[in-house]
Structure 1
Amino acid sequence: MLFKTHISKNQIGLVFRRGDLARVLDPGNHTVLQRPFGRDELEVVDVLVTRFEHPLLDVLIEDAAILEQLEVVELLDHQRALVWKDGRLFEIVGPGRHAFWKRPYTLAVEVLDVSGAGALEHPRLDAILRHPTAPFFVHAVRVDANERVVFRRDGAQIGVRGPGLHAFWKSSAELKWTAIDLREQSLDVAGQEIMTKDRVTLRVNLLVTYRVVDVQSAVDVAADAGQALYRAAQLVLREAVGARELDDLLVDRNAVGSELEVELADRAAQLGLELTGLGVRDVILPGEMKTILNQVIEATKRAEANLIRRREETAAARSQANTAKLFESTPALRRMKELEALQEILKGTRATFVLGQDDVLGQLGRLIGAPPDEGDDP
């Protein structure tokens, strides 16, 4: 028996006889023979479904008529493929055998080697990473302008990357990365209780600012370079404060900061860091010591004030004695001083003076009741 069938332009027909491929039907009208002891089986395949998946794929691609219409991709364990359909990324595929229909679109396949560092560098990296299946195949890391990132695969360093978008193929190897911030950072070494040389317990706060200058050392020398610097700052602070008496520490905190900066600079360089600033921010005394110190300061200031007052009184007395001697030796100067005093007394009053032909100083003296000098007319 025969039966007729139609294969559309977007289809092909696969005729199976007793489970084996017997014919491949191209688009058009066809007649299929139906045998008395078992009919032929027709399977219609839609080529608009770009990926061709079939349980007999390995056998079907041996047929030249089918193989001519398929793009078959064979990938090893260290290979991945990008399948582009009409210029757009259609699929990312891993190891194995994959088949894609060549029509009715333009198909392109890129086979990439993921061995070695496994870095994915591609002019259309953004398009690849936007694909829904990209997270299953690729690690994507975006590095900011103020960062550097150190990448390691199975513990071995594979590179230091700067700003930008970086991608690595996923594999059985473990990929790790460490981001290093190149901006200035600060450590607040706070609440350090330390005993001075004269056995006074203080609480000291230290501020340290630094930045990373050697990315390689910053990740190789210590697990956390910032924490390593923090611990080193604690130790040098205890040594510096413990070697000084309280008065010395309070008088010159800047000297302590300078000493700490010198001692800490070498350790910072080993960690790939550079100190940009260091200073003792606070020195906090215990309550009873603060009271005693305030009393000492108060007594000292009071003594200084008394001393200054006595000096001023002595200077004033000495000035008055000198003035008196000067008036005694210079009568005219004394008269001028008297006139200044008289001017000050009469300021704001209305007074009338009648002066004769005698000595003006004598007449003014008589007006205010001063005794006449020798030689003046009575």
Structure 2
Amino acid sequence: MSRNLIKPPAQRGACWQSQRSIEVRKLDISTDYKLPKALASQLLTAKDATLRAAALNALVMATIPEGHTGFLEVDGEQREILTAGTHVWWQFNHTIKVTQLDCRLQNMEVNGQEILTKDRVGLRINLSAMWQIVDPQQVKTALADHKDYLYRELQLALRAVVSTQTLDELLADKNLLNQSIQQTVAEKAAAYGIDLKTVGARDIVLPGDMKAILAQVVEAEKRAEANLIRRREETQETRSLHNTAKVMEGNPVLLRLKELEILEKITGRISTLNVYGGLDGVMNDLVKLTDKCKA
């Protein structure tokens, strides 16, 4: 029996007659050139090495992973959209090509580039974008390189938005920058079957001299805030002392308690105290707020 068990179209084959049964199966592959899964598995996993080798030469196999969409092109014309799984075709008399697109959620990093703000400050901004293909057929038909297209659109939108804002505006509200870029690019990308999920500015890099200037500005602002807080505290303390003095002025008992409190603090901070006039001198002459108030 002939060892070449797969015959291409328009060829003849011969087999020796024997006691073995011989089966010849003819397949019309002029239009239906895709193999059923059972036949493809039988040929590609055959125990006969000659049959397996003949199958590999006669077949085209493609595996589409989960989350991807495949496209079958036959003789330069798209014929089928392929779902996840393994697909096998006869390649006789046809040029078969399979391409695929990743339809999972993906991330794109846009590297920083020198950009001038509205007030002519040069800076670098790095962008990060989350996107997903929602219409694979539209992407394949309209775009030669969808990743390059999206990257360029993000770059252009970043330049356009930054040029309309001052440095202070960018630093004050980075979310506004993100929203403006996403709004600009999302509409264009949607027309080609791409859904731009989020856009975020990861880093805003300033030149060295500008960093020093901003550091000085921030330091001056913080120092002014600290001085304002300190003045408020001093004013509050003065007001409290004034209120306390007015209360003590009309209350001799409270005034005496305050004198004893001060006396306690004084005696607690010194190691030796010379007393003249005995206990009465200590209690009445050492601390006298009334005379100071009158003075």
1:127 deviates by: 2.2
Taking the TM superposition and a 5 Å limit, the aligned residue runs for 1:142-291 are 142-291=63-212
Percent sequence identity is: 39
Cα deviation, 1:20-52, whole Å, max 9, x if unaligned, reads xxxxxxxxxxxxxxxxxxxxxxxxxxxxxx128
RMSD: 2.6
Equivalent position of 2:246 in the other structure:
325
Amino acid at match of 1:92: I
1:105 deviates by: 2.9
Equivalent position of 1:124 in the other structure:
39
Taking the TM superposition and a 5 Å limit, the aligned residue runs for 1:1-378 are 50-51=1-2, 91-95=5-9, 96-101=11-16, 103-116=18-31, 118-130=33-45, 131-338=52-259, 340=261, 366=280, 368-370=282-284
Unaligned runs of 5+ in 1: 1-49, 53-89, 348-364, 373-378
Q: 1 or 2, which has the higher helix percentage?
A: 2
CA distance 1:126–1:367, shift in 2 (3 Å): farther
1:254 deviates by: 0.7
In the aligned structure 1, how far is the partner of 2:213 from the partner of 2:32? 68
Q: Judge conservation of contact 1:196–1:241 (CA < 8 Å) in 2.
A: yes
Unaligned runs of 5+ in 2: 46-51, 269-278, 289-295
| TM-score in terms of structure 1 length | 0.66
SS at match of 2:113: strand
In the aligned structure 2, how far is the partner of 1:103 from the partner of 1:341? 128
Q: Judge conservation of contact 2:103–2:132 (CA < 8 Å) in 1.
A: yes
Count of residue pairs brought into register by the alignment? 272
In the aligned structure 2, how far is the partner of 1:315 from the partner of 1:172? 96
Equivalent position of 2:274 in the other structure:
none
CA distance 1:201–1:117, shift in 2 (3 Å): farther
In the aligned structure 2, how far is the partner of 1:122 from the partner of 1:178? 20
Amino acid at match of 1:51: S
Q: Judge conservation of contact 1:197–1:246 (CA < 8 Å) in 2.
A: yes
| TM-score in terms of structure 2 length | 0.83
CA distance 1:258–1:117, shift in 2 (3 Å): farther
1:168 deviates by: 1.5
In the aligned structure 1, how far is the partner of 2:124 from the partner of 2:231? 40
Q: 1 or 2, which has the higher strand percentage?
A: 1
Q: Judge conservation of contact 1:209–1:276 (CA < 8 Å) in 2.
A: yes
Equivalent position of 1:4 in the other structure:
none
In the aligned structure 2, how far is the partner of 1:293 from the partner of 1:230? 31
1:214 deviates by: 1.0
In the aligned structure 2, how far is the partner of 1:207 from the partner of 1:345? 66
SS at match of 1:92: coil
1:174 deviates by: 2.3
1:139 deviates by: 0.6
Q: Judge conservation of contact 1:201–1:285 (CA < 8 Å) in 2.
A: yes
In the aligned structure 1, how far is the partner of 2:18 from the partner of 2:267? 123
